[in-house]
Structure 1
Amino acid sequence: MNESCIFCRIVAGSTPATIVAHNEQALAFRDLHPKAPVHVLVIPRRHVTSLAEATDAAELGAMMVLAADVASAEGLVAGGYRVVTNIGADGGQTVPHLHLHVLGGRSMAWPPG
Protein backbone atom coordinates (compact mmCIF):
# COMPACT_ATOMS: atom_id res chain seq x y z
CA MET A 1 0.00 0.00 0.00
CA ASN A 2 1.11 3.51 -0.84
CA GLU A 3 -0.01 5.77 2.05
CA SER A 4 -0.03 8.86 -0.20
CA CYS A 5 -2.32 7.20 -2.79
CA ILE A 6 -6.03 7.98 -2.42
CA PHE A 7 -7.01 4.75 -4.17
CA CYS A 8 -4.83 2.69 -1.80
CA ARG A 9 -6.57 4.43 1.10
CA ILE A 10 -9.96 3.52 -0.43
CA VAL A 11 -8.87 -0.13 -0.63
CA ALA A 12 -7.72 0.03 3.01
CA GLY A 13 -11.04 1.57 4.07
CA SER A 14 -9.48 4.72 5.51
CA THR A 15 -10.96 6.97 2.80
CA PRO A 16 -14.68 6.63 2.10
CA ALA A 17 -16.03 5.67 -1.33
CA THR A 18 -19.27 4.31 -2.70
CA ILE A 19 -18.24 0.71 -3.40
CA VAL A 20 -20.43 -0.97 -6.04
CA ALA A 21 -18.61 -4.28 -6.54
CA HIS A 22 -15.44 -6.15 -5.69
CA ASN A 23 -13.61 -9.39 -6.20
CA GLU A 24 -10.46 -10.87 -4.70
CA GLN A 25 -8.10 -8.68 -6.74
CA ALA A 26 -10.11 -5.56 -7.63
CA LEU A 27 -12.53 -2.99 -6.26
CA ALA A 28 -15.15 -0.85 -8.07
CA PHE A 29 -16.52 2.44 -6.79
CA ARG A 30 -18.37 5.50 -8.09
CA ASP A 31 -16.28 8.35 -9.48
CA LEU A 32 -16.60 11.54 -7.40
CA HIS A 33 -16.66 13.66 -10.58
CA PRO A 34 -18.69 11.59 -13.07
CA LYS A 35 -18.36 12.26 -16.79
CA ALA A 36 -21.42 10.13 -17.68
CA PRO A 37 -24.63 9.06 -15.91
CA VAL A 38 -22.75 5.91 -14.88
CA HIS A 39 -19.06 6.43 -14.08
CA VAL A 40 -17.44 3.72 -11.98
CA LEU A 41 -13.72 3.21 -11.37
CA VAL A 42 -12.23 -0.28 -11.17
CA ILE A 43 -8.86 -0.53 -9.42
CA PRO A 44 -6.50 -3.33 -8.40
CA ARG A 45 -6.32 -3.86 -4.64
CA ARG A 46 -2.54 -3.60 -4.72
CA HIS A 47 -0.76 -0.43 -5.83
CA VAL A 48 0.16 -0.42 -9.52
CA THR A 49 0.95 3.02 -10.93
CA SER A 50 -0.54 2.51 -14.41
CA LEU A 51 -1.06 -0.01 -17.19
CA ALA A 52 2.53 0.72 -18.25
CA GLU A 53 3.73 -0.93 -15.01
CA ALA A 54 1.17 -3.76 -14.88
CA THR A 55 2.68 -7.24 -15.01
CA ASP A 56 0.07 -9.54 -13.46
CA ALA A 57 -2.24 -10.98 -16.13
CA ALA A 58 -4.58 -12.51 -13.53
CA GLU A 59 -4.97 -9.14 -11.80
CA LEU A 60 -5.70 -7.38 -15.11
CA GLY A 61 -8.19 -10.10 -16.00
CA ALA A 62 -9.92 -9.72 -12.63
CA MET A 63 -10.22 -5.98 -13.27
CA MET A 64 -11.77 -6.53 -16.71
CA VAL A 65 -14.21 -9.15 -15.39
CA LEU A 66 -15.23 -6.78 -12.60
CA ALA A 67 -15.71 -3.96 -15.14
CA ALA A 68 -18.04 -6.22 -17.17
CA ASP A 69 -19.90 -7.21 -14.00
CA VAL A 70 -20.37 -3.53 -13.08
CA ALA A 71 -21.65 -2.71 -16.57
CA SER A 72 -24.16 -5.53 -16.34
CA ALA A 73 -25.30 -4.58 -12.83
CA GLU A 74 -25.70 -0.95 -13.90
CA GLY A 75 -27.86 -1.94 -16.90
CA LEU A 76 -25.37 -0.78 -19.52
CA VAL A 77 -24.97 -3.90 -21.63
CA ALA A 78 -27.98 -3.43 -23.94
CA GLY A 79 -27.18 0.18 -24.85
CA GLY A 80 -23.40 -0.14 -24.72
CA TYR A 81 -20.67 1.36 -22.59
CA ARG A 82 -17.01 2.29 -22.61
CA VAL A 83 -14.09 0.99 -20.55
CA VAL A 84 -10.97 3.16 -20.68
CA THR A 85 -7.71 3.64 -18.82
CA ASN A 86 -5.48 6.69 -18.99
CA ILE A 87 -1.70 6.27 -18.79
CA GLY A 88 0.58 9.13 -17.77
CA ALA A 89 0.10 12.89 -17.89
CA ASP A 90 -0.35 13.10 -21.68
CA GLY A 91 -2.89 10.28 -21.50
CA GLY A 92 -4.94 12.18 -18.92
CA GLN A 93 -4.08 10.09 -15.85
CA THR A 94 -4.62 12.23 -12.73
CA VAL A 95 -4.31 9.57 -10.00
CA PRO A 96 -1.12 7.46 -10.17
CA HIS A 97 -2.87 4.16 -9.43
CA LEU A 98 -4.05 1.94 -12.29
CA HIS A 99 -7.79 2.34 -12.83
CA LEU A 100 -10.41 1.57 -15.43
CA HIS A 101 -13.28 3.97 -16.07
CA VAL A 102 -16.60 2.23 -16.79
CA LEU A 103 -18.72 4.88 -18.52
CA GLY A 104 -22.28 4.56 -19.77
CA GLY A 105 -25.83 5.75 -19.71
CA ARG A 106 -25.40 8.08 -22.69
CA SER A 107 -24.03 8.00 -26.22
CA MET A 108 -20.23 8.24 -26.39
CA ALA A 109 -18.41 10.38 -28.96
CA TRP A 110 -15.34 9.35 -30.93
CA PRO A 111 -12.55 10.31 -30.79
CA PRO A 112 -12.79 10.65 -27.03
CA GLY A 113 -10.08 13.26 -26.42
Structure 2
Amino acid sequence: MSHDPNCIFCKIVAGQIPSKKAYEDEHLLAFHDIHPWAPVHVLIIPKQHIATHAELGTEHAELAGRMLLLAPRLMKELGVGNGFRTVINTGPDGGQEVYHLHMHVMGGPRPWLKG
Protein backbone atom coordinates (compact mmCIF):
# COMPACT_ATOMS: atom_id res chain seq x y z
CA MET A 1 0.00 0.00 0.00
CA SER A 2 1.47 3.35 -0.97
CA HIS A 3 2.09 6.05 1.61
CA ASP A 4 3.36 9.64 1.29
CA PRO A 5 5.36 10.61 4.40
CA ASN A 6 4.55 14.29 3.81
CA CYS A 7 0.77 13.80 3.44
CA ILE A 8 -1.34 14.87 6.43
CA PHE A 9 -3.97 12.19 5.70
CA CYS A 10 -1.28 9.48 5.45
CA LYS A 11 -0.07 10.66 8.86
CA ILE A 12 -3.64 10.35 10.21
CA VAL A 13 -3.86 6.81 8.77
CA ALA A 14 -0.53 5.97 10.44
CA GLY A 15 -1.74 7.34 13.79
CA GLN A 16 0.90 10.09 13.82
CA ILE A 17 -1.81 12.77 13.89
CA PRO A 18 -4.93 12.18 16.02
CA SER A 19 -8.42 12.19 14.54
CA LYS A 20 -11.94 11.58 15.76
CA LYS A 21 -12.59 8.33 13.91
CA ALA A 22 -16.05 7.44 12.66
CA TYR A 23 -15.05 4.20 10.91
CA GLU A 24 -11.99 2.15 10.07
CA ASP A 25 -11.29 -1.08 8.22
CA GLU A 26 -8.32 -2.44 6.28
CA HIS A 27 -9.06 -0.22 3.25
CA LEU A 28 -10.73 2.95 4.53
CA LEU A 29 -10.67 5.46 7.33
CA ALA A 30 -13.48 7.90 8.08
CA PHE A 31 -13.06 10.73 10.55
CA HIS A 32 -14.84 13.91 11.56
CA ASP A 33 -13.74 17.07 9.73
CA ILE A 34 -11.97 19.58 12.01
CA HIS A 35 -13.69 22.46 10.17
CA PRO A 36 -17.22 21.09 9.59
CA TRP A 37 -19.60 22.65 7.09
CA ALA A 38 -22.58 20.80 8.53
CA PRO A 39 -23.68 19.35 11.87
CA VAL A 40 -22.31 15.97 10.72
CA HIS A 41 -19.26 16.22 8.44
CA VAL A 42 -16.93 13.27 7.96
CA LEU A 43 -14.14 12.57 5.52
CA ILE A 44 -13.80 9.13 3.98
CA ILE A 45 -10.29 8.36 2.76
CA PRO A 46 -8.55 5.32 1.36
CA LYS A 47 -5.63 4.14 3.47
CA GLN A 48 -3.68 3.84 0.23
CA HIS A 49 -2.25 7.18 -0.90
CA ILE A 50 -4.01 8.25 -4.10
CA ALA A 51 -3.54 11.96 -4.66
CA THR A 52 -6.73 12.85 -6.55
CA HIS A 53 -9.99 11.43 -7.85
CA ALA A 54 -8.54 11.90 -11.36
CA GLU A 55 -5.87 9.30 -10.54
CA LEU A 56 -8.39 6.54 -9.88
CA GLY A 57 -8.13 3.73 -12.40
CA THR A 58 -10.07 0.56 -13.03
CA GLU A 59 -7.83 -1.15 -10.47
CA HIS A 60 -9.41 1.13 -7.85
CA ALA A 61 -13.05 0.28 -8.72
CA GLU A 62 -13.62 -1.80 -5.58
CA LEU A 63 -12.03 0.85 -3.36
CA ALA A 64 -14.16 3.64 -4.88
CA GLY A 65 -17.25 1.49 -4.45
CA ARG A 66 -16.40 0.89 -0.81
CA MET A 67 -16.15 4.66 -0.26
CA LEU A 68 -19.54 5.30 -1.89
CA LEU A 69 -21.25 2.51 0.02
CA LEU A 70 -19.82 3.62 3.35
CA ALA A 71 -21.28 7.14 3.11
CA PRO A 72 -24.98 6.28 3.65
CA ARG A 73 -24.11 3.71 6.32
CA LEU A 74 -22.12 6.29 8.29
CA MET A 75 -24.80 8.96 7.98
CA LYS A 76 -27.41 6.54 9.32
CA GLU A 77 -25.12 5.51 12.21
CA LEU A 78 -24.45 9.19 12.99
CA GLY A 79 -28.16 10.02 13.15
CA VAL A 80 -28.61 11.74 9.80
CA GLY A 81 -32.02 10.77 8.47
CA ASN A 82 -33.08 13.53 6.11
CA GLY A 83 -30.39 13.21 3.43
CA PHE A 84 -26.76 14.10 3.06
CA ARG A 85 -24.28 15.51 0.58
CA THR A 86 -21.12 13.90 -0.79
CA VAL A 87 -18.36 16.00 -2.34
CA ILE A 88 -15.01 15.06 -3.85
CA ASN A 89 -12.90 18.10 -4.72
CA THR A 90 -10.38 17.28 -7.45
CA GLY A 91 -7.33 19.33 -8.37
CA PRO A 92 -6.68 23.04 -7.93
CA ASP A 93 -9.67 24.23 -9.97
CA GLY A 94 -11.89 21.74 -8.12
CA GLY A 95 -10.93 23.24 -4.75
CA GLN A 96 -8.83 20.32 -3.51
CA GLU A 97 -6.66 21.39 -0.58
CA VAL A 98 -5.22 18.08 0.64
CA TYR A 99 -3.76 15.90 -2.12
CA HIS A 100 -4.96 12.56 -0.80
CA LEU A 101 -8.27 11.37 -2.24
CA HIS A 102 -11.07 12.13 0.20
CA MET A 103 -14.83 12.33 0.13
CA HIS A 104 -16.68 14.84 2.29
CA VAL A 105 -19.97 13.47 3.60
CA MET A 106 -22.17 16.14 5.19
CA GLY A 107 -25.56 15.81 6.83
CA GLY A 108 -27.97 17.83 8.86
CA PRO A 109 -29.29 21.33 8.11
CA ARG A 110 -27.69 22.67 4.94
CA PRO A 111 -25.55 25.70 5.82
CA TRP A 112 -24.35 25.92 2.20
CA LEU A 113 -27.84 27.17 1.25
CA LYS A 114 -27.82 30.93 1.72
CA GLY A 115 -31.42 31.98 1.76
Determine if the TM-score, normalized by the shorter chain, exceeds 0.5: yes
SS at match of 2:92: coil
Q: Which runs of 4+ in 1 moved over 4 A?
A: none
Name the % identity: 46
1:47 and 2:45 correspond: no
**1:21·1:28 contact (CA, 8 Å) conserved in 2?**
yes
| Counterpart position of 1:9 | 11
Residues 1-113 of structure 1: matches in 2 within 5 Å? 1-55=3-57, 56-76=60-80, 78-107=81-110
Structure 1 unaligned residues grouped into runs of 5+: none
TM-score by length of 1: 0.90
Give RMSD over aligned pairs: 1.3
**2:46·2:101 contact (CA, 8 Å) conserved in 1?**
yes
**1:23·1:66 contact (CA, 8 Å) conserved in 2?**
no
- Structure 1: how far apart are the matches of 2:71 and 2:26? 14
Structure 2 unaligned residues grouped into runs of 5+: none
- Structure 2: how far apart are the matches of 1:22 and 1:63? 11
TM-score by length of 2: 0.89
**Equivalent residues, number:** 109
